[in-house]
Structure 1
Amino acid sequence: MASVDSTGSSVSRRLRSGDLLHAGLAVALLLGPWSVGGLVVSTGRVSSIEAMNGSTVLLPCTYSSCIGIKNLYFNWQFNDNGTKYKLCDAVIPDDGEVPWVHVYQDRVEFVGSSESNNISILLWNITFEDEGEYTCFARNPKEKGHNHSAIFTLIVVDQMKEVDNTLTVIIVSVLGGVIGLVIIVMGIKALVIHFQLKDD
């Protein structure tokens, strides 16, 4: 039978909860720096773009890390119906150092800058075959082999859709007319009041 202290709570129960607390703290201390300061890869707020056949498209990608980077490896890949083709890759030795980028496909240009944590690329003269998913991948050895990626979807169209602004034009016209009418009524009212005060 477990011993009981003066408050009536079980000592063995308190010991078990204390052990759990210590174990939880140890796990938090071990995993904390990796979960808080880990590498983050992002293609920005918009994860897809619609572009015209024959145009040039920017595929955006940035990275950030609270613990810093050392020999950060990154690449861009194109997913062509399940087959992945590497477009470019490089290693950034340290924060702010310029990487030597290897480009593997025609019409691909690296336009990023390690000073701004930017690893974006340009796709020149796109065709319908370029439509699909592009993956921006990065691995920071400081994180013990954790991989990070972000996906950007490119949609290629023959011509851009025309936006129908008819409703917007009607709303703006009505609002403008109402505001103009109010101004005219206020002006007439001010004139009437002015002449009435003059007569008095």
Structure 2
Amino acid sequence: MASLDNTGWSVPGLLVALLLVFDSGVLHVRGLEVSTGKVSSIEAMNGSTVLLPCTYSSCIGIHKLTFSWHYNNNGTMNKLCEGVVPSEGVEPKVKVEHDRVEFVGSSKSHNISILLWNITFEDEGEYTCFAKNPKEMNRNHSAIFTLRVVDQMREVDNTLTVIIVSVLGGVIGLVIIVMVIKALVVQFLLKDDEKNKECLVNASGNDNTENGLTGAKAENKGTPKA
């Protein structure tokens, strides 16, 4: 008979519950993930070569990680390449199944990206990067990258940018003009202040002369003898 704790749970029941929490909380958060980067789509010209990016990560580690690239051709998934990464840091063994696809990844950077050469309008669509890790009970994950093919690149409307730059240039120019005017005014005021001081000095000398400083010198002369 299974024993019960104070909460009414049996020991096997607790173990099952803990395993479920571990599986949903740890494996699903820290397990295998693949990503095509912050930008999941690209627009490229007809005839150019594009990079289809994909990286993988796993906090648990990998062992015999399998990966593949597929192209969604109106609902039919066409395989472009597949490979196996034996272990961490070991370069993958890759099999390319498309004549215009080149594998450019490396296990050292957890990179499983591919190049698609000389794209055509028929190459437009969704590309799926898929990976599976046997070390995590065959946990798998995938990410989609969208390719759009155009005959010429669209011109970017820089009207708003030009307006912003013009406004900023005008503000900066106005600030410079104000600073120059301020400097001229300050210089003029300093010169005017110096003139006022010079006038005060001259005026003070004249007042002393008029107040009899010369006469005082005359009074200091000795009294003439009889």
TM-score with structure 1 setting the length: 0.87
Equivalence for 1:15:
7
2-structure distance, mates of 1:150, 1:78: 12
1:167 maps to amino acid? L
Shift of residue 186 of structure 1?
1.5
CA 1:26–1:59: 2 relative to 1, 3 Å: closer
CA 1:42–1:184: 2 relative to 1, 3 Å: same
2-structure distance, mates of 1:183, 1:21: 75
Shift of residue 145 of structure 1?
2.0
Aligned 1:145-156 pairs, distance under 5 A = 145-156=138-149
> Structure 1 residue 35 and structure 2 residue 28: aligned?
yes
> Structure 1 residue 95 and structure 2 residue 107: aligned?
no
Extract unaligned runs of 5+ from structure 1. Answer: 1-13
2:7 maps to amino acid? L
2:178 maps to amino acid? V
2:153 to 142, 147, 160: 160
Shift of residue 171 of structure 1?
2.2
1-structure distance, mates of 2:15, 2:67: 38
> Structure 1 residue 171 and structure 2 residue 171: aligned?
no
1-structure distance, mates of 2:28, 2:69: 24
Aligned 1:115-154 pairs, distance under 5 A = 115-154=108-147
Shift of residue 31 of structure 1?
4.5
> Structure 1 residue 196 and structure 2 residue 189: aligned?
yes
Relative to its length, the structure with more helix (as a share) is 2
CA 1:26–1:128: 2 relative to 1, 3 Å: closer
User: Identity over aligned residues, as a percent?
Assistant: 71
Higher Rg of the two aligned structures: 2
Aligned 1:30-69 pairs, distance under 5 A = 30-69=23-62
CA 1:189–1:55: 2 relative to 1, 3 Å: same
Secondary structure at 1:178 match in 2: helix
1:162 maps to amino acid? E
Extract unaligned runs of 5+ from structure 2. Answer: 1-5, 194-226
Shift of residue 92 of structure 1?
0.5
1-structure distance, mates of 2:22, 2:168: 60
Secondary structure at 1:177 match in 2: helix
CA RMSD of the aligned region, Å?
2.2
Shift of residue 44 of structure 1?
0.3
Secondary structure at 2:149 match in 1: strand
Greater shift, 25-34 or 72-81, is seen at: 25-34
Summarize deviations over 1:84-118 as a string: whole Å, max 9, x none.
11100011000110112100001100000110000
1:142 maps to amino acid? K
2-structure distance, mates of 1:119, 1:22: 38
Secondary structure at 1:137 match in 2: strand
2:180 maps to amino acid? G
1-structure distance, mates of 2:19, 2:159: 63
Secondary structure at 1:151 match in 2: strand
1:15 maps to amino acid? T
Equivalence for 2:217:
none
Greater shift, 173-182 or 52-61, is seen at: 173-182
2-structure distance, mates of 1:52, 1:79: 20
